Chain A
Amino acid sequence: QKEVEQNSGPLSVPEGAIASLNCTYSDRGSQSFFWYRQYSGKSPELIMFIYSNGDKEDGRFTAQLNKASQYVSLLIRDSQPSDSATYLCAGTYDAGGTSYGKLTFGQGTILTVHP
């Protein structure tokens, strides 16, 4: 069983809509979560990270973390065709643990924003 699971997708939304990407994790020891965007043939690029329960906003992106329910989500408001990519959720231990930043990735969700 993978430690980080993403809703399989692919997800298709019209331009201007809100895209909602979800991720669940099995290990309650996970402390920090990251969302990476990966365009086809490119490397993963960090979009957001979140450590605390609640919402964290950055421009059109909002990350949400609920540690009690063990899920993380990413909302993209006013989706643009340029947002079309694979979105990777990753979790890691922190807080003086021994994982030293080791990220466990989900399989990714392919997002297509159509004009």
Chain B
Amino acid sequence: DARVTQTPRHKVTEMGQEVTMRCQPILGHNTVFWYRQTMMQGLELLAYFRNRAPLDDSGMPKDRFSAEMPDATLATLKIQPSEPRDSAVYFCASGRTGGYYNSPLHFGNGTRLTVT
């Protein structure tokens, strides 16, 4: 089964440190999404890319978060500096889009981030 791969699975870091999360989308998927999930807010869209171009990052705090897609097989989400309120599970999802109906999104296993 093809799947979205995220690393690391868990990350514990101290406030102020840089955190980098990585995602390998399913081969052939041209759209990659970063979501954050917390108990209070549920699943929130942070940013997404289509054909490696950023389409929307309005959900992301711009001063500390950055998302990139250096090639078709790698998407990264970086937080610098990290803060305790960034503690959450970060999911990457990928899909194939551009037709009349887009394919459903497939989620990776997530990165559970704890900032102390």
Contact = CB atoms under 8 A, between A and B. Distances in A.
A49 B42 contact: no
B16 to A, nearest CB: 28
Interface residues of B, number: 26
Given A44-B91, A107-B42, A102 B56 contact: yes
Contact of B55 (A100, A106, A107, A108): A100
B104 A49 contact: yes
B110 A43 contact: yes
A108 B35 CA distance: 15
Majority DSSP secondary structure for residues of A touching B: loop
A94 B101 contact: yes
A100 B98 contact: yes
B100 A94 contact: yes
Given A100-B31, A100-B50, A46 B56 contact: no
23 contacts: A31-B101, A32-B101, A34-B104, A34-B105, A36-B107, A43-B91, A43-B109, A43-B110, A49-B104, A92-B102, A95-B100, A96-B100, A98-B55, A100-B98, A102-B33, A102-B45, A103-B33, A103-B45, A103-B93, A103-B105, A105-B42, A106-B42, A108-B42
